[in-house]
Amino acid sequence: MQSRLPILVFAALMAAIPFVPGMPPFWIVLLDNIGLAALVAMGLVLLTGVGGLTSFGQAAFVGFGAYTTAVLSTAYGLSPWLTLPLSLVVSGSLAVLLGLITVRLSGHYLPLGTLAWGLGLFYLFSKLEFLGRNDGISAIPPLSIGAFKMLSPGSIYYAIWVAVIVSALLTMNLLDSRTGRAIRALRRGHVAAEAFGVHTPRAKLLVFIHAAVLAGLSGWLYAHLQRAVNPTPFGAQAGIEYLFIAVVGGAGYVWGGVLGAAIVVVLKEVLQSYLPLILPGSGQVETIVFGIMLVALLQLAPGGLWPWLISFLPERTGGRKPDTSLKLEHRARTVGESGVLLQVEKARKQFGGVVAVNNVSFDVQAREIVALIGPNGAGKSTTFNLITGVLSATSGSISVLGRKVDNAPPQEIVKLGISRTFQHVKLVPDMTVLENVAIGAHLRGHSGPISSMLRLDRADEAKLLAEAARQIERVGLAEQMHQLAGSLSLGQQRIVEIARALCVDPMLLLLDEPAAGLRHMEKQRLATLLRDLRDGGMSVLLVEHDMGFVMNLADRIVVLDFGTKIAEGTPATIKTNPEVIKAYLGVAA
């Protein structure tokens, strides 16, 4: 949980600025513009810095907010306060329409897609008659409270900065929640997020809408500050500039958006005011200088200026330990008469002409540790991906508790009580161990984005964090609970992944090379943990190359070679199997 004291101090500072003796009106205008840019940048922090979705089109949503209030207040005579929710609804609704298409794009297609519709909407603003074409709309009424009309930049100043601070609080509350962890998990790719029940298209659409609504709010305020709108401020150049603001300030930090807005707005104003005096007739040379200075800033602080600045502050030592007396409901441990938890029957996966898994069959019983071994490229991780719904089998069937799950998505598989770790660690490095592990309990919580922003989710959140803390203590990393996951060794990160998987409260735990990177004593503790889990009613299916670890732990071993099962049995029989020795173990085994 983040301290709110700095926000209160900042709010008091901003409230006092207009009362500073001799404060030039020009600086109030500048602060108004900083606030408007900060609103858009905060949305981009969530969208791009946290969610990993790059957008060059946010200026269009500023335009939607501005034009909506302009049309409704001038053509239909509605009060600006009535047009506020309508402007936000229009921006959010159009974000839904555009986002349903855009967020499904990946790689370079995503930013290109946002640039394309940003350009298209800019030209739309300039061609529609009822929007005033290139001339836009003027005579927009000012905001007013009773008889007090906000006619000057100084009078609307408080409205802008109240909007900035409230938006920052709501955004920070969202990030400090179950929904926020799901959003941050997107940066490690959809596979890791979906493995713990996150509906990734929905999470991406949520951040897209949130960013658009903040941009629409900025547009609404802009229209009533300027009292006139035209298409110029809502073009592609403005969209790129907003992204610059977020990156310069620190794209992963809410207050980085505010800092970036201050730097970029002030820098542009200084260059436009003083550079022509130094270089007469320089035309647009200030744009070039502006770009050079931004590059220099990013060389100084590649992650943005906000994280660079806070790196000089004393490091915070640990956080408050969650109350582990709070409990989540546990999954019922019911297995049919056969005792079979997982049944893989003639599973086959083919990529073009390459057969990765070739008619493999095996099962996992209740309270059993099964090892899946074989040389590199044998199809072990592909088999894991078939079981967890990351890949669909070309043929064959996979059943959990007798229910076929061949084509079920990962979000449905995890609901059945199957959780996993990954061959290549998939943690969010700039989240704490506690926050990473709590992602595993995502489906065991119920709070949504609105309740999170309003902090109505605290009881639910306390239980989720308590469960995460219990699992961290269970795997022996209690002292690292509040450290950033990226600061841990590879072996410790693998243990964190196991704790995250345990937060699902699974019946079957899939571990992909869990002992890799662990020292001897750590492996011993891991083996003890897995035996305790088995004795407590959980089953384990693991892929591992450390044969000493496997032979001393597994109840049964399945051996793959070139995607085909070549043997199955107890460790004792596998050790002496000639085909296994030839394909994998070698004569020394």
Q: What confidence tens digit (pLDDT) does each residue in 546-583 have? A: 999 999 999 999 999 999 999 999 999 999 899 998 88
pLDDT at position 532 is 94
pLDDT over 70 (residue 317): no
Identify the band that residue 1 occupies on the pLDDT scale cut at 50, 70 and 90: very low
Q: For the chain, give percent helix, strand, coil, nearest 5.
A: 60, 10, 30
Alpha-carbon distances of 226 from 3, 269, 553, 564, rounded to whole Å? 35, 17, 71, 70
- Strand 556-561 and strand 354-365: the pairing is unpaired
Which pLDDT score is estimated for 105? Answer: 83
Which residues neighbour 245 within 8 Å (Cβ) at sequence distance 6 or greater?
A: 37, 38, 40, 41, 44, 257, 260, 261, 263, 264
Q: Does the structure show a pLDDT above 60 at 301?
A: yes
Placement of tokens 């056969």 in the chain = 338
Alpha carbons within 13 angstroms on the beta-carbon side of residue 139 total: 5
**Segment 133-139 mean pLDDT:** 92
Q: Are strands 228-229 and 340-351 parallel, antiparallel or unpaired?
A: unpaired
**pLDDT tens digits for range 141-180:** 999 998 899 988 889 999 999 999 999 999 999 999 999 9
Q: Could you report the per-residue pLDDT of 219-246, keeping only the tens digit for each?
A: 999 999 999 999 999 988 899 899 999 9
Q: Answer yes or no: is pLDDT of 405 > 60.
A: yes
Angle at 185 between CA 183 and CA 186, to 5 degrees: 70
Rounded to whole angstroms, the Cα distance separating 559 from 542 reads 12
Neighbouring residues of 315: CB distance < 8 A, sequence distance ≥ 6: none
How many whole angstroms separate alpha carbon 415 and alpha carbon 430?
27
Helices 285-300 and 254-278 cross at an angle (nearest 10°) of: 140
- CATH code, residues 335-417+506-589: 3.40.50.300
User: How far apart (Å, rounded) are the C-alpha atoms in residues 237 and 287?
Assistant: 11
pLDDT of residue 302: 80
Examine the pLDDT at 281 and tell me if it is beyond 70.
Answer: no
Q: Which of 102, 45, 70 is nearest to 216 (CA)?
A: 70
Does residue 190 register a pLDDT over 90?
no
Indicate the CATH number for domain 26-310. Answer: 1.10.3470
Ranges 47-61, 274-288, 409-423: which has the least confidence: 274-288
Compute the distance between CA of residue 460 and CA of residue 199 in angstroms, rounded to an integer.
Answer: 19
CB-CB neighbours of 299 under 10 Å:
8
For 585, which DSSP code? I
Residue 45 to residues 38, 86, 357: CA-CA distances in angstroms? 10, 24, 42
Bridge partner residues of 357 (DSSP): 349
373 membership: H or E segment, kind and range = strand 369-373
C-alpha separations of 108 from 54, 102, 105, 189, 427 in Å: 9, 12, 8, 15, 23
* pLDDT score at 368: 95
- Helix, coil or strand: residue 423: coil
Cα separation, 445 vs 402, in Å, equals 27
- Please enumerate in sequence order all residues whose Cβ is within 8 A of that of 110, keeping only pairs 6 or more positions apart, or say none: 53, 54, 55, 102, 103
Query: How far apart are alpha carbons 13 and 246 in whole angstroms?
Result: 22
Q: How many beta carbons lie within 10 A of that of residue 330, not counting itself?
A: 8
pLDDT at 276: 72
Q: Where are the beta strands (DSSP E) in 156-243?
A: 228-229
| Contact status, residue 192 vs residue 442, Cβ threshold 8 Å | no
| Residue 439 pLDDT > 70 | yes
pLDDT of residue 334: 66
pLDDT of residue 330: 82
Q: What are phi and psi of 365, to 5 degrees?
A: -85, 165
Take residue 49 and report the two structure tokens written for it: 């810095």
The kind and range of the H/E element at 464 are: helix 458-474
- Give the pLDDT of residue 296: 82
Q: What pLDDT was estimated at residue 510?
A: 96
Residue 335: pLDDT band (50, 70, 90) is low
End-to-end CA distance of the chain: give it in Å, rounded: 52
* pTM metric for this prediction: 0.90
Q: Residue 138 belongs to what H/E stretch? A: strand 137-138
pLDDT beyond 60 at 47: yes
169 phi and psi angles, rounded to 5 deg: -60, -45
Q: How far apart are CA 371 and CA 539, in angstroms?
A: 11
Which pLDDT tens digit goes with each residue over 376-388? 889 999 999 999 9
Question: What is the residue whose two structure tokens read 């809502």?
Answer: 234
Q: Which residue spans of the chain are classified as CATH 1.10.3470?
A: 26-310
Condensed to tens digits (0 to 9), the pLDDT of residues 107-124 reads 788 888 898 888 888 888
The CA–CA distances, whole Å, from 370 to 236, 504, 542, 552 equal: 56, 20, 6, 12
3-state secondary structure of 317: coil
pLDDT tier at 589, thresholds 50, 70, 90 = very low
Lowest-confidence segment of 76-90, 98-112, 382-396 by average pLDDT: 98-112
Mean pLDDT of the chain: 90
What gap in Å lies between CA 442 and CA 184, rounded to an integer?
Answer: 13
| CB neighbour class for 574 (10 Å; exposed up to 12, middle 13-18, buried from 19) | buried
Q: Phi, psi at residue 378, to the nearest 5°? A: -80, -15
DSSP string, 148-179: EE--SHHHHHHHHHHHHHHHHHHHHHHHSSHH
In 3-state terms, what secondary structure has residue 397?
Answer: strand
pLDDT on residue 3: 61
* CA-based R_g, the chain, Å: 28
Q: Report, as an integer, the average pLDDT of 329-357.
A: 83
Give dist(CA 167, CA 525) in Å, integer.
46
**Contact 374/568 with Cβ under 8 angstroms?**
no
294 or 361: whose pLDDT is higher? 361
